[in-house]
Amino acid sequence: MTATLPEEDLEQHFEATIERDQRIEPRDWVPEGYRKTMIRQIAQHAHSEIIGMQPEGNWITRAPSLRRKAILLAKVQDEAGHGLYLYSAAATLGADRADLTDKLINGKQKYSSIFNYPTLTFADVGVVGWLVDGAAICNQVPLCRSSYGPYARAMIRICKEESFHQRQGFELLMTMMRGTEKQREMVQEAVNRWWWPSLMMFGPPDADSPNTAQSMAWKVKRHTNDELRQRFVDMSIPQAEALGVTFPDPDLKWNAERGHYDFGAVDWDEFKNVLKGNGPCNAQRVAHRRRAQEDGAWVREAASAHAAKKGSSA
Ligand code: BYC
C-alpha cells in the first residue's frame, strides 16, 4: 500500500514510525541507508555467531566430562541457531544468505573481533561464556528494542539463550576456582587474556564510531559503544570478586563522583589490527569457514534437487 505513495510521504511515514517507537517491518518502505545499515549489522552479527562456534567447538572433543561435553555441544548448537535466525532476518531486507556467506569468506564483511583469539585451555571455555557471552548480552539486550522488527524479535530469543551460556561459563569457572591451585591459575591466566578483547567487542570509542550517530537516530542502537562498555565493566567487577579473580588493569577503580568504575586505556591499535585481518586466528577462522562451505556444497545441491523433485511431483 505505502509503495504507491510519493517518496516524501514514505519517508515521513518511516520517520514517524521511528518517532513513535514502533517497529519497522519488512513490508515497510525504508530509506536505502537504513536497509544497508541493518543488513551490515545483522550480517556481521550472524557471521559472528557462526564463526563464534569455532573457538569453543575446538574443545568439544576434549571436554573433561560427559556433562561438560553435553553442555558445550548444546551451547555451540545454539550459536548455529542464532546465526540462522539472523540470516533469516537479513533475508527480510532482501539480502541473500549465500551472498552474505560469500562476502564473509572473501573478507568483504566483518565478524566480531573477539573470535580471532585462541582458546588455549579449558578455562577459556568458561571465560568465553562468562565474559564474551556476558558482553554479548550487555550489547544485545537493548537490541531487543531495536527499530527493525525481525531483528528485535530474533534478539529476544538469542538473549535468553546467551543468558544460559553466560551462567554455564560462570558455573564452570566457579567449579575450577574451588579446585586445585593449578586450576585457579588457569582461570586467572585465561581472564588476563580475554579481558581487553572483551572490552573491544563494544566497538570503537564513540568519538571514532562512524555509524553510531545515525544508528542511534534510527533507534537501531539504543546506547552508544562507550555507554555499553562502561555498563559491562561495572557489572563484571562484582562478578570477578565473587569468583576470586582480578582483571589485568591497574587503573580499575571506583569513581564515586561518576558512580562508575574508571578503567585503563584500551589498545585500539590492536583492535584495528584484528579488524584488518591480522589477529592471531583471523586466517584460520576464515579458512575453516571457507572449507566448511566448500565441503557442504554437495549437501546444498542435493537438498535443492530434492526440493525441486518434490515440487514437480506435487
Ligand atoms: N569486531 O561505527 P561502529 C556473538 C566495526 S557476539 C569487528 O561503532 P556499529 C557471540 C563496525 O562493524 C558478537 N568489527 O559500528 C557471542 C564498523 O565497520 P563497518 C556479535 C567491529 O555497527 C558469544 C566499524 O567497526 N555481536 O555473536 O555502529 C558466542 C566502526 O564501528 C567491532 C553483534 O554483532 C568488533 N568488535 O557498532 C557466539 C551485535 N566493533 O561495518 C557469538 C550487534 C565495531 O562500517 N552489533 N566493528 O565496515 C552491534 O551492536 C554493532 O554493530 C557494534 C558496532 C556495537 C558491534
Report the distance separating Cα 36 and Cα 195, nearest Å: 32
* Residue nearest to ligand 1 atom 8, measured at CA: 209
- The phi, psi pair for 211, rounded to 5°, reads -95, -15
Pocket lining: 90 vs ligand 1, CB cutoff 6 Å: no
String of DSSP letters for 224-243:
-HHHHHHHHHHHHHHHHHHH
Pocket lining: 136 vs ligand 1, CB cutoff 6 Å: yes
E-assigned strands of the chain?
253-255, 260-262
What's the gap in Å between 225 CA and the centre of ligand 1? 9
Contact in structure between 57 and 79 (CB atoms under 8 Å) = no
* Start-to-end CA span in the chain (Å): 33
Pocket lining: 94 vs ligand 1, CB cutoff 6 Å: no
* Residue nearest to ligand 1 atom 42, measured at CA: 49
Helix (H) or strand (E) holding 284: helix 282-295
Pocket lining: 209 vs ligand 1, CB cutoff 6 Å: yes
Paired strand residues for 261: 254
What's the gap in Å between 106 CA and the centre of ligand 1? 18
pLDDT of residue 7: 81
pLDDT of residue 175: 98
Pocket lining: 37 vs ligand 1, CB cutoff 6 Å: no
pLDDT of residue 311: 83
Helix/strand/coil percent split, the chain, to 5: 70, 5, 25
Identify the three-state secondary structure at position 150. Answer: helix
Cβ neighbours for 229, distance < 8 A, ≥ 6 positions apart: 199, 202
* Single-letter amino acid, residue 68: R
Sign (positive/negative) of CA torsion 101, 105, 107, 113?
positive
String of DSSP letters for 40-91:
HHHHHHHHHHHHTHHHHHTTGGG-SSHHHHHHHHHHHHHHHHHHHHHHHHHH
Report the distance separating Cα 125 and Cα 60, nearest Å: 10
Report the distance separating Cα 107 and Cα 197, nearest Å: 21
Pocket lining: 273 vs ligand 1, CB cutoff 6 Å: no
- List the grid coordinates of 102: 560469500
Pocket lining: 231 vs ligand 1, CB cutoff 6 Å: no
Pocket lining: 13 vs ligand 1, CB cutoff 6 Å: no
Per-residue pLDDT of the chain (314 residues; tens, 9 = 90+): 445 678 889 999 999 999 999 999 999 999 999 999 999 999 999 999 999 999 999 999 999 999 999 999 999 999 999 999 999 999 999 999 999 999 999 999 999 999 999 999 999 999 999 999 999 999 999 999 999 999 999 999 999 999 999 999 999 999 999 999 999 999 999 999 999 999 999 999 999 999 999 999 999 999 999 999 999 999 999 999 999 999 999 999 999 999 999 999 999 999 999 999 999 999 999 999 999 999 999 999 999 999 999 887 65
pLDDT of residue 169: 97
Identify the three-state secondary structure at position 113. Answer: helix
* Single-letter amino acid, residue 94: G
Helix (H) or strand (E) holding 130: none
What's the gap in Å between 214 CA and the centre of ligand 1? 15
CA distances from 93 to 13, 219, 242, 247 (A): 18, 17, 44, 41
